[in-house]
A and B are shown apart, each in its own frame.
Chain A
Amino acid sequence: MSAKILLALDHIEGIASLPVYAQHGGYAVLKKVLSDISPQQVVEEVKISGLRGRGGAGFPTGLKWSFLARPEGVPRYLVCNADESEPGTFKDRYLMERNPHLMIEGMIISSYGLGANTAYIYIRGEYFYIARILEKAIKEAYAAGYLGKNILNSGFDLDLHVHVGAGAYICGEETALLESLEGKRGNPRIKPPFPAVQGLYNCPTVVNNSETLAAVVPILDKGGAAYAAIGIGKSTGTKLISASGHINRPGVYEIELGIPVEEFIYSDEYCGGIRNGKKLKAVVAGGSSVPILPADLILKTAEGAPRLMSYESLAEGGFQTGTMMGSGGFIVMDEDTSIVKNLYTFARFYHHESCGQCSPCREGTGWMERILHKILDGHGSITDIDLLWDIQKNIDGKTICPLGEAAAWPVASAIRHFRSEFEEYVLNPHLIEDVKHYYRLQTT
């Protein structure tokens, strides 16, 4: 049985409009929170719920909120990170497209808890049509008195703005997002100071993923403890998974954290098994930047226990035999997939999206892409594989922001688990086909 909390209403016709949303209990939680609950209690409930950031890092949201500096006379900001740009992730898009009011309600409650009077939704440029949906929903919320001055006579003011980005992957990194929101070039800032102390316009700021903010509504509705009862261990609640790749039923699924990976891939309720009866080869479990795992390691951990869809279980075994939950971009690959070609596509992406601020990422991502291109071109040598390994090692952990790691981890894991495939490309150049296709794809 799938636990539908965030997507409980998404099948209802016209749920994107406020009257229909209100009919199905929309904004009831907001009314309850504003009349009965203090801001401190909101933060407390979120802490109790054990909600973790759904954008990728999985940092406990309540803890993040409690870090927010609260100096007198300085405004605080809440920013919703809707710059969903990780390849393989498309959950926020579905959420915002279907049920924009849920996220807006979550943002109003969160802003109340954090004492922020201005909130922003930073949405990626390619989602311009969702920006229209959100703007329409915000307009409705203003008209109904859920936004603006003195919301529902509680004395709490909130202004909510939608800001459309220009489509850079790096602007999904929170400090680059803030720079971009300020109207500057989207370069990540050097931390510390963290946004909780000096964020937007140098004021304390909380940046949360859309899904995280939407989850605040059910938490305040049923209580943090009830939310914490769902899920397993420290992975509480439900998570939206964007399933794509060679499966029978690609799409966005809401799962209770802790279901077995095997069930998720093969159950008809979720992915419905591998397309055309093929065998499973590998899975990228959390969006393109997390390590790829071969079939045996994604279904079972190195110790032989079944792997579960939870932050802890997916990470079990470290990067040697494990991976990460990431943003929940679940990419399934069947036995016919070329890991090297797939890796080249990822490497090309990270090369293209590197902001160019710090040297390892600026120079290393392009270098890795060129070597992979060379291998795919049939001109590779065995030393190139070792060189790739060295380059990723030199990037990993030496950059300003996590983009360097995001570029390095796929390379590291592909070589770690599928080295033989690289060697096959290098040793049998005559077997390589389809190379011209990749020439055409190359953008630079």
Chain B
Amino acid sequence: MPKVTIDDISIEVPEGTTILEAARMIGGDIVPPAMCYYSHLQGTGGYCRTCIVQVTQGSEKDPRPMPKPVASCRTTVMDGMVVKNTTSPELLEARAGVVEFLLINHPLDCPVCDQAGECHLQDLGYDHGKLETRSEFPRREFEPIDIGPHIKLHMNRCILCYRCVKVADQLTDGRCHGVISRGEASEISTYIEQAIDNDFSGNMIDVCPVGALTDRTFRFKSRVWYTKPVDAHRDCPTCSGKVRLWFQGDDVIRVTSRKDEYGEVTTGPEGNPEWICNTCRFDTKSVHDWEIEGPSHIQRQSVISANHYESLKALKVTTERMYDANPHGTKVDLGEGALDPNNESK
């Protein structure tokens, strides 16, 4: 198995693993950010260039460094490869340059954007962006449009990651949207006034790293950090049925798929990504439809975890109330010490 060293941490990975995947196996701060790569979708990655890393040693056999930064999501590791990510100041500078490019035409309308709080571009901007913009030219502007009964497209916010195109290609039958025009004028568009209407089209919203594709049934209902995510499932004939319910009070105001720490759909027991169908996402928004499993685990750095709801007693009451409302559901055991607000481990 090839051995790769990323930021002075070595790991042995299976043949054919990309640098990004190897970094994710190590985990932590050394994982390069990725805006367009999505592990469950074929052929993604390589477009946004935020995951670039410096390869200072190509392999054991050919120790020459690679002359340019490479996209870690599309470069496979070689035995003896040495990669620098956060330990190379030049590389971080270069990445800041890429982030700057992504932001010069982005409207920065986070205060009115539904994605705010779970937006990857927001995180990327905080982690790698600069404080001030150097661009003084008008931004590229488009009108928001409905691209089907469930999805709203804000092309202004789009970073052209192509993820939604790949979802439509690989998950739904008969893709009717894609990228039209060239260069700076490129935009996501449906094929001549067609609407996207497909059982799995809702997953386009989940893969969108920014607020370009938003859920029309959830738009402007609430900021995400005022909602409480709870994992739940139901017997669904079309999909895995494993979802995340977002509660406001006792009402489910949004249903999404479950996501891991990299914002990607979680992997099921058989290694299959747990995409969800539009029925689960848009049409089953009553607590009675679902078997509640318990509060979702949210990453510590997320604004959503600012509620610390996982360890709040009040929530315990809420879940119990849910249990009363849905006696077929499983009662949640939060575990020892979970109710202690000072317990950091949960």
Contacts and interface: CB of A to CB of B under 8 A. Distances in A.
Interface of A: 168, 185, 190, 351-360, 362-367, 370, 387, 390, 393-394, 397-400, 444
Q: Counting chain B CB atoms within 10 Å of each CB, which of A365, A367, A399 scores highest?
A: A367
A398 B68 contact: yes
6 contacts: A190-B74, A356-B184, A366-B184, A394-B97, A394-B101, A400-B46
Given A356-B160, A398-B68, A362 B49 contact: no
Interface residues of B, number: 32
Interface string B60-95: 000000011101001000000000000000000010
Nearest to A404: B49
Contacts of A359: 47-50, 98, 101-102, 159-160
Interface of B: 45-50, 52, 67-69, 71, 74, 94, 97-98, 100-102, 104-105, 134-135, 137, 159-160, 179, 181-186
Nearest to A354: B183
A83 B71 CA distance: 28
A444 B98 CA distance: 24
A397 B67 contact: yes
B46 A190 contact: yes
Contact of B183 (A190, A366, A370): A366
Given A357-B160, A359-B48, A359-B98, 15 more contacts: A190-B45, A351-B184, A358-B49, A359-B49, A359-B102, A359-B160, A360-B98, A362-B101, A362-B183, A362-B184, A363-B104, A365-B183, A367-B104, A397-B69, A398-B98
Contacts of B98: 359-360, 394, 398
Given A190-B74, A370-B137, A352 B97 contact: no
Given A363-B105, A398-B94, A356 B182 contact: yes
The 10 closest A-B pairs by CB, nearest first: A394-B97, A356-B186, A397-B68, A354-B183, A363-B101, A190-B46, A356-B183, A366-B184, A359-B101, A370-B137
Contacts of A370: 137
Contacts of B159: 359
Contacts of A360: 49, 97-98, 101
Contacts of B67: 397
Given A367-B104, A397-B68, A398-B68, A356 B97 contact: no
Contacts of A444: 185
A253 B134 CA distance: 45
Contacts of A399: 49
A351 B52 CA distance: 23
Nearest to A386: B134
Which of A168, A190, A363 lies at the interface centre, i.e. has the most chain B CB atoms within 10 A of its CB?
A: A363
B277 to A, nearest CB: 29
B90 to A, nearest CB: 11
A40 B335 CA distance: 72
A310 to B, nearest CB: 23
Contacts of A353: 182-183
With most chain A CB atoms within 10 A of its CB, the pick from B49, B94, B159, B160 is: B49
B182 A354 contact: yes
A194 to B, nearest CB: 13
Nearest to B99: A359
Contacts of A190: 45-46, 71, 74
A358 B185 CA distance: 13
A358 B104 contact: no
A387 B71 CA distance: 25
A365 to B, nearest CB: 7
Given A370-B137, A394-B100, A397-B67, A358 B183 contact: no
